[in-house]
Amino acid sequence: MPKHRTTTTAETFHLAGDTATLACNLAKQLMRNRRDPMAVLLGPVIWSIPEGSDQKRWYFIVAYGRSGNPKFQLEQIFGPLDAVQQLRTALLLALVEHRPITIHECGSELLLAQWMTAQFPGKRSTTLLENVRREQAAWLAGERDHA
């Protein structure tokens, strides 16, 4: 997904720490300066292989902002598979404490992009959805090698 802000957990939040504390700190960061009810979309744990590498890079995406507003934030949270899975679950639990908030937990990258266009309608979310659809179509057609 292009044009996103990236948070690398290994550098920013030190994944070696307590997962619950890490999740609480991340939830506070996501919810800082909010004045209106927030919508938060949690994507699934997925992987990509960066150009020039043969290693999977595990991550999940968090999109958040005011529902109905085309301006929203997008974070990618990277790390080792086990740590990313634990952090995603802990973040979901930590976000529940920040009210008023609507949380959508998405089980696929396509569902996440579809929810983004519903929650944050605008050119950016529509472009992200189109990119996900194009990437999935290419992958299904065998044009992209996902070993």
What is the value of pTM for the model shown?
A: 0.80
CA dihedral 18, 24, 25, 30 (to 10 degrees): 140
**Using one digit for the tens of pLDDT, what is the confidence trace for 36-86?**
788 999 999 999 888 899 999 999 999 999 999 999 999 999 989 999 999
Q: How many CB atoms lie within 10 A of CB 107?
A: 10
Amino acid identity at 115: W
Domain borders along the chain are: 5-140
**Concatenated DSSP letters of 44-59:** PPEEE--TT--S-EEE
**Using one digit for the tens of pLDDT, what is the confidence trace for 9-43?**
433 444 546 788 888 888 888 888 677 788 999 99
pLDDT band at 3 (very low <50, low <70, confident <90, very high): very low
**Using one digit for the tens of pLDDT, what is the confidence trace for 123-143?**
999 999 999 999 999 888 886
